[in-house]
Amino acid sequence: MNDRGARGASPTINDVARLAGVSKKTVSRVINRSPLLNDATRERIEAVIAELGYVPNRQARSLALRRNFVLGLIYDNPNAQMVLNFQQGVLDTIKDTEFALVIHPVDRRSPTLFEDIRRFVEQQRHYGVMILPPLSEDDQFADLFRELGCNYVRMGSAELDEPAHLVQSNDRQAVREAIDYLVAQGHRRIGLIAGPSGFRSAHERRQGWIDSLVAHGLPHDETMVAEGNYTFETGQSAGEALLGRGEPFTAIFASNDVMAAGAIHAAHHRGLDVPKDISIVGFDDTVIAATIWPPLTTVRWPIRTMAQSAARKLIHPETAGKEQALFPAELILRASTEPPETER
C-alpha cells in the first residue's frame, strides 16, 4: 500500500511494521516503551527502526494524543542576557525529551498585544506557556491562559500566583541585603535609582531599599530617589539628578545593571571616581556587570535555574505545586563598591 521509493519521503510506522512483520500497534508499543512486549519482538523491531532510520512523526503523534509537545515562551524584555539565560534554562530541562521551545517576543506597547498573545496560544496549542516580567505581572494574561485551557508559569518578583504557576525571585529581600552590605561598609546616605512605576520588580526593589534603611534608622525620602525605566539613558539622567541634589550620596543602588552603568557614566561626567567618591550597586548580574569599568557589585538572579523549574512545572503539572517556587538571589561583590572616605 505504502510503496515508498527513493523519493525522499521518510519511513513511517507502516514501513517499520511491514519490514518487521508485525502490526503497527506493536511498533507503536516499542516507540512508547510499553512494558508488555516480547523482548525478541522488541529487538527485531528496534533493528528495523535503526536500519530504516525511522523517526516517529511529531505531528501525527500530537494529533492522535491530542496534545502538542511544545512549550511557549512569551516576553517583552529589554534585557537580552536575561531572556537568553531563560531560554537556555528551558532547553536544559527539555533536552532529551520530545518537547520543543517556541518563542514569542511581543511589544508591550502594541495596541494589539492582548490579541497577539491570544492568537499565539490558540494557534500553537502549547503544552504550556511561560511568561516573563513585566508581562507576567499582569493578571489579565494569566486569566487568558486559563480561559484558553492552556497551562502556564509566570516568572516574577512577587507572589503573583500559586506555586504551580510561578517561579519567583525575592528581589525585595535581595536588595535589602545589598543595602545592608553598604551600611555595614559605613555608608549612611544611599540613593535609589528606581525602576519604572508600572513594574512589580521596581516596586519590590524599592521596598527592599526602604526595608534596610528603616531597619538601620537611616533616612529615606523622595529626594533620595530618581526613577528610570531600566534603560541606560534613563539610568544616566537619574544618576545626574541624584548627584546634583543637595547633600551628596556616598552610594547609589540602581534597580538594574544597565541603569547602574548609566549612573557610572553620570558620576564620571561630574568628575567623580567610582568607587572612591561614590559606590554603585546594580541588579541582574548581566554580562554588562563584569564588563563595565569598574566591574559592578550587583545582585545575581538565578534565572537559568528558575527557567529549568518553570519548564519542569509545565511538563509535570501533577507535581508542579510541590516544586520550589522561590529562588533566592545573591549579592556579587565587585569593584564598584568600597567603604566611604570617612571610614577609610
Partner DNA sequence: TTGTAAGCGTTATCAA
Partner DNA sequence: TTGATAACGCTTACAA
The residues binding a copy of itself (CB under 8 A) are 8, 10, 55, 57-60, 62-63, 68, 70, 80-81, 83-84, 87-88, 91, 98, 100-105, 122-125, 149, 232, 258, 261, 264-265, 268, 287-288, 290-293
Confirm or reject binding of residue 126 to DNA (CB under 7 A): no
**CA separation (Å) from 151 to 98, 311, 342?**
18, 11, 55
- Partner from a copy of itself, DNA, none binding residue 281, C-beta < 5-8 Å depending on class: none
Task: Report the site for DNA in 1-20 (rule: CB under 7 A).
Answer: 2, 9, 12-14
Smallest gap from residue 280 Cβ to DNA (A): 55
Smallest gap from residue 57 Cβ to a copy of itself (A): 7
Which residues touch 323 (CB under 8 Å, ≥6 apart)?
163, 164, 309, 312, 313
Whichever of 60 and 326 has its CB closer to a copy of itself, that residue is: 60
Whichever of 104 and 206 has its CB closer to a copy of itself, that residue is: 104
Smallest gap from residue 333 Cβ to a copy of itself (A): 18
Whichever of 121 and 292 has its CB closer to DNA, that residue is: 121
The count of other CB atoms within 10 Å of the CB of residue 93 is 20
Q: Give the residue from 131, 211, 147, 224 showing the smallest Cα distance to 174.
A: 211
156: alpha, beta or left, given left = phi > 0 and alpha = psi -120 to 50?
beta
C-beta of residue 132 within 8 angstroms of C-beta of residue 141: no
- Partner from DNA, a copy of itself, none binding residue 203, C-beta < 5-8 Å depending on class: none
Smallest gap from residue 224 Cβ to DNA (A): 58
Binding DNA (rule: CB under 7 A), the pick from 47, 51, 57, 248 is: 57
Whichever of 147 and 162 has its CB closer to a copy of itself, that residue is: 147
Whichever of 119 and 322 has its CB closer to a copy of itself, that residue is: 119
C-beta of residue 19 within 8 angstroms of C-beta of residue 48: yes
- CA dist 58 and 73 (Å) reads 20
Q: Which stretch binds DNA (CB under 7 A): 53-61, 88-96, 191-199, 248-256?
A: 53-61
Which residues touch 133 (CB under 8 Å, ≥6 apart)?
77, 155, 156, 157, 199, 200, 201
Element (H, E) at 152: strand 152-156
Task: Report the site for DNA in 23-42 (rule: CB under 7 A).
Answer: 23-26, 28-29, 31-32, 36-38, 40-42
C-beta of residue 343 within 8 angstroms of C-beta of residue 279: no
- CA dist 297 and 291 (Å) reads 12
- Partner from DNA, a copy of itself, none binding residue 279, C-beta < 5-8 Å depending on class: none
Side chain identity, residue 27: V
- DSSP H helices, 10-138, are 13-20, 24-31, 39-52, 58-65, 80-94, 113-124
Residue whose C-alpha cell reads 525571585 in the numeric block = 169
Smallest gap from residue 77 Cβ to a copy of itself (A): 9
Smallest gap from residue 68 Cβ to DNA (A): 11
- Partner from DNA, a copy of itself, none binding residue 36, C-beta < 5-8 Å depending on class: DNA
Which residues touch 156 (CB under 8 Å, ≥6 apart)?
133, 136, 137, 166, 167, 168, 169, 200, 201
Task: Report the site for DNA in 60-119 (rule: CB under 7 A).
Answer: 60-61, 63-66
Residues that bind DNA (CB under 7 A): 2, 9, 12-14, 21-26, 28-29, 31-32, 36-38, 40-42, 55-57, 60-61, 63-66
